Structure 1
């Protein structure tokens, strides 16, 4: 299993950063390749995304949700992944959003992409787009 760790500082209070991130169905607006996220209930999400040129779907369960601090998840069906997003106040109006994601590659194309850092760059880009998205809405 591979792991990615990235973070970004956003110029919004911690509660606002957390609230925006917890609007899961808005993920396609700033996450590359994510086509749809459906919130099935308080703890379950259904994802549809394009990864390495293939459409993938999976269900994820939120395993921990501490408002204003952390959201953790793990897949329960489909593409294997898990991780957490932490929200740390740097000062009254700035928050560090840190992502740690574990994932399993499938097939040669994904393994080569992983070795080349494709998913790491995608996560970096997603965090930068989240920064612009949440700051523009603040």
Structure 2
């Protein structure tokens, strides 16, 4: 599995940041690459993403919630992935660290995706956190 990490500081308390990150269905409002997220109930969601010139769909389950410090998930279908947001209070607000691991079964496709994945995940993570911060400061 390939792993990508990204970290940013959001100028707000961990409780406020976590409150917005916990609303997984709102992530489509936070990134241009996330087309939509369907709520399936019981902390399950179907994501529709447009990346690397392709449409991707996968179902995820939230696997760990430790408010206001940890939100983790793993895929149940589609692109095999798992992720974890770790929040930590810092003098400037909240450091939000994302760790995302993924695996694509097709070797040719995996090679193309691996090349684009790190900057792409960094872009999506930055967009999400910038828009979360903007919403908190609105």
Paired with 1:103 and 1:83, the residues of 2 have a C-alpha distance of 9
* Cross-structure match for 1:102: 101
How big is the shift at 1:37? 0.9
Could you list the structure 1 runs, at least 4 aligned residues long, displaced by more than 3 angstroms after superposition. Answer: none
- Kindly tell me: are residues 62 and 6 of structure 1, through their superposed partners in 2, closer, same or farther at Cα, counting changes over 3 Å? same
Contact 1:9-1:95 within 8 A present in 2 as well: yes
What is the RMSD of the two structures over their aligned residues, measured on CA atoms?
Answer: 1.7
- Equivalent pair of 1:105/1:111 in contact (CA under 8 Å): no
Residue correspondences, number: 135
Show the counterpart of 2:62: 62
Gaps of 5+ in 2: none
What is the rounded CA distance, in whole Å, between the counterparts of 2:59 and 2:85 in structure 1? 18
> Gaps spanning 5+ residues in structure 1: where?
none
> How do 1:35-50 and structure 2 match up within 5 A?
35-50=35-50
Equivalent in the alignment of 1:4: 4
TM-score (ref. length: structure 1): 0.87
Distance 1:51 1:137, change over 3 A: closer
Matched, 1:79 2:79: yes
2:130 alignment partner, one of 122, 129, 132: 132
